[in-house]
A and B are shown apart, each in its own frame.
Chain A
Amino acid sequence: MSETILDVCDLSVERSGKVVIKDVCLHVTEGDFVGIVGPNGSGKSTLLLAILGVLKPKSGTIQVYGKPPNSVITNKKIGWVSQAAANLPKNVKITVRELVKLGTINRANMFDRLNRSSNDRVDEAIRKTGLENVKHTEVGRLSGGQKQRAVIARALASEADFIILDEPMVGIDRDSKNSLLKLLDGLCHEEGKTILMVSHDLTAIRQTAHRMVFLEETIRFDGPVKSFPGLEKLADLRGIEPVH
């Protein structure tokens, strides 16, 4: 039986005194590729921030690799991939290699000089993400797709087994999107990484994920991609009544 990577049980989280998600239960096992979809403000980012240990639950529990979020064990195993277009600062001149190298730092080696194995991991992550020919290029000069790959490479350099992505498809053209999806698919099926991806892009999630989760305050659907409801059923699940 596959190892349990993430176990979220009856989770409720408040932000600024308002309940954003409630009674959320989510189970992710090794090798899963889970796509989380939902409208704006449905609590997708809140759920991710709670899993990362940034937001504290109001009630319920979160276990990552059997431990509470942000413990010493999870620090090495989780790779966080933010939306590159919005989160990479514009006021820093940093090359792809410098950015990816930052992924090798963790609680245990914070004050060590980077050693050969760290450098090997950096090169390997750059190779896997197909950024070898731009590794000495400043990140600000890359295309949207390349920037997102660079952020993924940073997560891979940490040797993480569980990759969590937040809206990686934003600001990326169609061709880059396709190759990014292939990269994620390869990471899951060839490298055995477990992937949890939040995206607005329903089609992209359908193409890559094994399982889809529809979140709107609570989980309204959780099942295989092929069983994901059509528009009418989805409206019904969300409690939206027909107006015509």
Chain B
Amino acid sequence: MGAGVMLLELLSPVMEEMSYLMPGEVFPEFFRLEMFQRSLLAAVIVSIVAGYLGSFLLVRNLALIGDGLAHVSFGGVAIGIVLGATSPLEYALVASVTSAIMIYELQSRNILAGDASIAIFLTGMLAFGLVYLRYSGVGITVEVESYLWGDLLLTSSSDLDTIAFFCILSYLFLIIMQPILLATAVDPLSSHVQGIPVRQIGLLFSVITAIVVVTMVQVVGTLLVTALLVTPAATAQLISRSFRSCLFWSQVFGLASIFLGLYFSAELDTGSGAMIALVAAILFAIVGATVALKSSISSLSRESKQAGDI
């Protein structure tokens, strides 16, 4: 029994109790039926880690790396499907980690500036996946589509185990390395002077990002990974005044996107991945508009106070 199934057994009774408090007709089933519980747990685990990781990606100006690596992992998934693998995600993992290392090397050695290397890997591996699927005669099947758009309800016990194992491992790594990751992102030269191995830390961070992205492909699909990786972290930045609160709020917004997204997708019978991504974007818009409104009201009241003083 893997980490995911153990966690599910532990939380299953709690989820069942929670089901009575949940609104809607279909949504409470996510807390009651084992198949749905599995999906919900996978989504919750992924959203927590993705939110935490996303805050570091924003600091490092790497908002698009998640999108790039997700498309790369689709190339890996294609190889897995054509070869008849039981879990194509393992192939995605190899493709994603290898590409993450190569992208990091291209960027850190100044061979390709900015996002150019991400763009090349993104399109190259996605194209490879599509060509390989057609060439091998498999084509774009329902299974292939589930990796493109995400199909949370197809999460098997072994998928849950894989997701839980890699996410918990990545989360622990991120928590332990948090000060060093922040230091190297904020000021790499000072970190170098302090004796922190900046290059190695950057490389390790890229590998962790690649791993987390692959676990997310199952939940939201290749095309929507950025929604859980970057949008909650960006929403958190709007209301946070410290990095600590950014980390906290990005996880809260990630979880909110998952719960609201699953609720609406269940009740309106739409795809879960797309609804989760849409909710994450709507949350950003609501928080952004509120912050902008608040700041214009306070600047208006400041101006009127100054005019009164004159």
Q: Which residues of A contact B (CB under 8 A)?
A: 52-54, 70, 72, 75-76, 78-80, 82, 87-89, 91-95, 98-99, 101-103, 105-108, 110-111, 114, 136-138, 154-155, 158
The size bracket of the interface on B is 20 to 34
Contact B186 A105 (CB under 8 A): no
Q: Which residues of B contact A136 (CB under 8 A)?
A: 241-242
A107-B192 Cα distance, complex, nearest whole Å: 10
Contact B187 A87 (CB under 8 A): yes
A114-B183 Cα distance, complex, nearest whole Å: 14
Interface residues of B in 149-207 (CB under 8 A from A): 176-177, 179-180, 182-183, 185-187, 189-196
A108-B195 Cα distance, complex, nearest whole Å: 8
Contact B192 A103 (CB under 8 A): no
Known A87-B189, A93-B240, A98-B244; 12 more pairs at CB < 8 Å: A70-B193, A79-B193, A80-B189, A80-B193, A87-B187, A89-B186, A92-B59, A94-B243, A95-B242, A105-B180, A110-B180, A138-B242
A54-B180 Cα distance, complex, nearest whole Å: 19
Contact A158 B242 (CB under 8 A): no
Say yes or no for B296: interface residue by CB 8 A criterion.
no
Main secondary structure of the interface of A (DSSP, over half): loop
A129-B145 Cα distance, complex, nearest whole Å: 58
Contact B195 A89 (CB under 8 A): no
Say yes or no for B127: interface residue by CB 8 A criterion.
no
1/0 contact string of B231-248 vs chain A (CB within 8 Å): 000000100111111100
- Nearest A residue to B59 via CB reads A92
Contact B179 A95 (CB under 8 A): no
Quote the shortest CB–CB distance from A19 to chain B (angstroms).
20
Known: A52-B192, A54-B192, A75-B195. A92 touches B185 (CB 8 A): yes
Known: A92-B186, A92-B243, A102-B182. A70 touches B195 (CB 8 A): yes
Known: A88-B186, A93-B237, A110-B180. A98 touches B243 (CB 8 A): yes
Tally of A-B Cβ pairs under 8 angstroms: 96
A244-B183 Cα distance, complex, nearest whole Å: 53
A80-B245 Cα distance, complex, nearest whole Å: 27
Contact B193 A101 (CB under 8 A): no
Say yes or no for B87: interface residue by CB 8 A criterion.
no
A70-B186 Cα distance, complex, nearest whole Å: 19
- Nearest A residue to B190 via CB reads A80
Known: A92-B185, A92-B243, A98-B244. A111 touches B194 (CB 8 A): no
A114-B182 Cα distance, complex, nearest whole Å: 14
Say yes or no for B61: interface residue by CB 8 A criterion.
yes
Contact A102 B179 (CB under 8 A): yes
A226-B180 Cα distance, complex, nearest whole Å: 44
- Nearest B residue to A73 via CB reads B195
A108-B241 Cα distance, complex, nearest whole Å: 30
Say yes or no for B58: interface residue by CB 8 A criterion.
yes
Quote the shortest CB–CB distance from A69 to chain B (angstroms).
9
**Contact among B61, B185, B194, B245 with A105 in the assembled complex (CB-CB below 8 Å):** B194
Question: What are 21 sample pairs from A and B whose C-beta atoms fall under 8 A apart?
Answer: A52-B193, A82-B190, A87-B189, A88-B187, A89-B59, A91-B237, A92-B185, A92-B186, A93-B241, A94-B186, A94-B243, A95-B241, A101-B179, A102-B183, A102-B190, A103-B194, A105-B183, A105-B191, A106-B196, A110-B196, A111-B177
- Which of B59, B180, B189, B195 counts the most chain A CB atoms within 10 A? B195
- Nearest A residue to B177 via CB reads A111
Contact A114 B179 (CB under 8 A): yes
A67-B184 Cα distance, complex, nearest whole Å: 24
Q: Which residues of B contact A111 (CB under 8 A)?
A: 176-177, 180
